[in-house]
Amino acid sequence: MTLAVLKTVSFDDKNLTLQISRSPDHVGRCQRLRYKVYCVERGWYNEVRISKGHELDAYDNRASHALLTRIDNGESIGVVRLVLPSGDPKNPELPIQEISPDPISLIEAPVDLTRIAEVSRFAVTRDYKNWSPAPSVTAGEGKSTSEKRFSLFSVTLMRAVVLMARENSMEYLCATMEPALILHLSRLGIKFKALGEAKEYHGLRQPCFMKLAEVDAEMRRLRPEVHPLVFGV
């Protein structure tokens, strides 16, 4: 598992910092931003577990956590965690498996279930929807400012996911995402494959899956300008 030591990730945007850790203080900051996004902004007070302004669950102890913040004032912007498998070769015990039928069972190719992790709590606060101190390197012409910044935030959080996966020797990723987020990531070259139909799970969510090596190769070929931002050089 990722060490509790705080790791700061370097990337091109000098206005932002990305940190990865499993330390209690860092996880607490992530949980506070999750509370803000899921409870204050989305109103999920009855759908998630809350404790003193933190959104938390049992999977936090088995996850690596990443937090995107502003350098100038330390405000939290975005968060994501990577829930690691239990180690049982027959049952990874991931949040996605709470859906019926189990989406993991719908993966067609053989998968080492000790090498699959779940992308979870992928969120950006609405406070930064229109924040734009610098142009996004990922944005194309014709996009609105909010779309450009969200593209940068999404790419940066996916960079964290890739780093956390590599640090923990994960080869596959699964997730339960809003269809709009899956489409957004796909346009950036980060393509998840659907596992069955979309389900009602905190709103309409699509269970999905990717093999990291395949997305790495495809993104390098189809989106070479974005690829290094996610997978590194």
Cα distance between residue 8 and residue 169, in whole Å: 19
* Domain-located, residue 23: yes
For residues 172 and 209, the answer to whether their CB atoms sit within 8 Å is yes
Query: In the predicted model, what is the mean pLDDT of residues 111-131?
Result: 93
For residues 174 and 207, the answer to whether their CB atoms sit within 8 Å is yes
Q: How confident is the model at residue 13 (pLDDT cuts 50, 70, 90)?
A: low
Domain that holds residue 37: 7-231
Query: In the predicted model, what is the mean pLDDT of residues 179-195?
Result: 96
* Domain-located, residue 1: no
* Domain-located, residue 58: yes
Backbone angles phi, psi at 141, to 5 degrees: -65, 145
* Domain-located, residue 2: no
* Domain-located, residue 101: yes
Instruction: Count up the domains in the chain and report the number.
Output: 1
Predicted pLDDT of residue 139: 44
Cα distance between residue 70 and residue 78, in whole Å: 10
Cα distance between residue 103 and residue 185, in whole Å: 20
Percentage of the chain exceeding pLDDT 90:
76
Predicted pLDDT of residue 151: 84
Query: In the predicted model, what is the mean pLDDT of residues 13-19?
Result: 85
* Domain-located, residue 33: yes
Query: In the predicted model, what is the mean pLDDT of residues 51-56?
Result: 95
Lowest mean per-residue pLDDT among 2-6, 111-115, 182-186: 2-6
Average per-residue pLDDT in the chain?
89
74-85: pLDDT as tens digits: 999 999 999 999
pTM over 0.75: yes
The CATH number assigned to the domain holding 166 equals 3.40.630.30
* Domain-located, residue 182: yes
* Domain-located, residue 42: yes
Residue 2 has pLDDT above 80, yes or no: no
Cα distance between residue 43 and residue 198, in whole Å: 22
Local structure of residue 36 (DSSP, 8 states): I
127-164: pLDDT as tens digits: 987 676 554 444 444 455 555 666 889 999 999 999 99
Cα distance between residue 27 and residue 66, in whole Å: 8
Crossing angle between the packed helical segments 179-187 and 145-167, to the nearest 10 degrees: 90
Cα distance between residue 88 and residue 55, in whole Å: 27
Alpha helices for 48-196 (secondary structure H): 145-167, 179-187
